[in-house]
Amino acid sequence: MQLFLKPLRTQVQPEDFKILVACEFSGVVRRAFRRLGFNAWSCDILPAEDNSPYHLQCDVREVLNQHWDLLIAHPPCTYLCNSGVRWLHERPERRVLMHRAIDFFLELLHANVPHIAIENPVMHGYAQRLIRKPTQYIQPFQFGHPVSKKTGLWLKNLPKLKPTKIVPKEQVRQEVLLEPPSPDRWKKRSRTFSGVAKAMAEQWGEFLLSIFSDLTQKKF
């Protein structure tokens, strides 16, 4: 009798990695990882803008324990960001909401996932003291977009993101000046820049592949 055995696949592949992009309705980061072959999913309480079958419409806390390899999250910044700090003094009831937002942020940052990146704009001092300083700040103009919007990345077991395409200073505009008032202004303003998403997928995707291929090549 002849046996046909499938050769054992020792090399790790992008599809072997489960990636959760939390608080994402746009699918920008999910698509960047999927383009490279990763098993990436987005999750938001809102439906996916692109009607993708790879979107989980629910509270992300319901799916956090589903054995993800990498978590990237964009939690709401309304009560955490520096630009909204004056409201904390003018409307003290917002402090309760700020503490809820901090608890949510920390739940994501300390989730039981080996590699984590949480993204948020520059925080006010109260929030930053209770969370911690970000690992790094990035700007869209470092990733090919002629826009200034200083954004923090809080990283766990991930390398800092390296700029991919720096736009000359004289071409850069302030992000807040770009969007006129409209009901979905917050959506337009909160959508992740595609150049940043591409850098995350290429650099962190490569990082995951490299650490796991090192492990599979080790002889025990």
Ligand X SMILES: C[S@@+](CC[C@H](N)C(=O)[O-])C[C@H]1O[C@@H](n2cnc3c(N)ncnc32)[C@H](O)[C@@H]1O
- 24 is a site residue for ligand X (CB under 6 A): yes
* Residues 180-209 close enough to bind ligand X by CB under 6 A: 190-192
Residue 118 or 158 with smaller CB distance to ligand X: 118
Residue 65 or 213 with smaller CB distance to ligand X: 65
Binding piece for ligand X, criterion CB under 6 A, among 37-45, 95-103, 150-158, 202-210: 37-45
* Residues 47-86 close enough to bind ligand X by CB under 6 A: 59-60, 74, 76-77
Residue with smallest beta-carbon separation from ligand X: 23
- Tell me the closest approach of the beta carbon of residue 45 to ligand X, in angstroms: 5
Q: How far apart are CA 60 and CA 62, in angstroms?
A: 5
Residue 129 or 188 with smaller CB distance to ligand X: 188
- Tell me the closest approach of the beta carbon of residue 156 to ligand X, in angstroms: 19
User: 50 and 43 in contact (C-beta within 8 Å)?
Assistant: no
Radius of gyration over every alpha carbon of the chain, rounded to an integer in angstroms: 19
Choosing from 20, 43, 131, 209, the residue that interacts with ligand X (CB under 6 A) is 43
- Tell me the closest approach of the beta carbon of residue 11 to ligand X, in angstroms: 32
Choosing from 19, 20, 23, 109, the residue that interacts with ligand X (CB under 6 A) is 23
* Residues 118-157 close enough to bind ligand X by CB under 6 A: none
Footprint on this chain of ligand X (rule: CB under 6 A):
23-26, 28, 43-46, 59-60, 74, 76-77, 190-192
